[in-house]
Amino acid sequence: MKNVVIAGNWKSNKTTADAQGWLNDFKAHSQSLNLEQVRIILFVPFTVLAVAKWAIGQMSLPIELGAQDISPFGEGAYTGEINGLQIKELATTVLIGHSERRQYFHEDDSLLQKKVEQAKKHGLSVIYCVASEKDSVPTGVDIVAYEPVGAIGSGTPEPPLKAGEMISSIKQATKAEKVIYGGSVTSENVASYITQGPIDGVLPGGVSLDPVAFCSLVAAATA
Ligand code: PGA
């Protein structure tokens, strides 16, 4: 079996108490999982990072923490922003360029480039989302996530063969070494993506909110 990345994206969901409950349940349900060739990353809200880091350490869980955004600036007078130095204390990875950030917060290529630069400056690993092979990918990105907009949260995932073909094109166009697929991934369909040669992992949103469903997805991806 190849190494796979499974990156859960909680989006704007969960309190600190919810997060602690999720991690306790993950511990209980992940005991029998074979995680040797899996890298699990969890993108949680900023407000949850500290408590999640503590709980993951206490329970020795095989989970890397990620932030869902990063300031395009360093430290300073940027009210409301969370910068790379602050994120580095709590997380290893940052999600940049998600279509919801592009759509609702009007993030464009030049802003996203600055965010990637800040992440790299602080040694953070970057998962960068694109909707097609036409989207440019800034230098320094570690993993690209191909997420067709219509597949996100819709229950209508892109057919695995088509996703595999698109990911091959993205690898050719961007020279990205690792590209994962996101958009309505479930425990029922995850294997059909993972078994496509060019697909290096998945980025589940909705399913990652439930620790039992998330563990089932990991089990199906590693079976
Ligand atoms: P979904 O979200 O799995 O709920 O479709 C994926 C994403 O937006 O990253």
Calpha distance 73→83 (Å, rounded)? 7
CA nearest 156: which of 180, 191, 189?
A: 189
* Mean per-residue pLDDT, 62-71: 98
Calpha distance 137→149 (Å, rounded)? 17
Q: Is 9 in the pocket of ligand 1 (CB under 6 A)?
A: yes
Catalytic residue among 89, 98, 100, 106: 98
Cα dihedral sign for 6, 123, 170, 43?
positive
- In order of 15, 135, 162, the CA distances from 150 in angstroms are 28, 16, 14
Q: HSE-up of 112 (CA within 13 Å, CB side)?
A: 27
| Active-site residue flag, 147 | yes
Nearest CA, atom 2, ligand 1 = 205
Q: Is 183 in the pocket of ligand 1 (CB under 6 A)?
A: yes
Atom in ligand 1 nearest the alpha carbon of residue 182? 6
| Residue 183 CA to ligand 1 centre (angstroms) | 5
- Run of H or E including 126: strand 125-130
What is the reported pLDDT for 1? 66
- Structure confidence by residue, pLDDT tens digits, 168-211: 999 999 989 999 999 999 999 999 999 999 999 999 999 999 99
- In order of 93, 108, 206, the CA distances from 125 in angstroms are 4, 20, 23
Per the listing, tokens 């993993």 go with 143
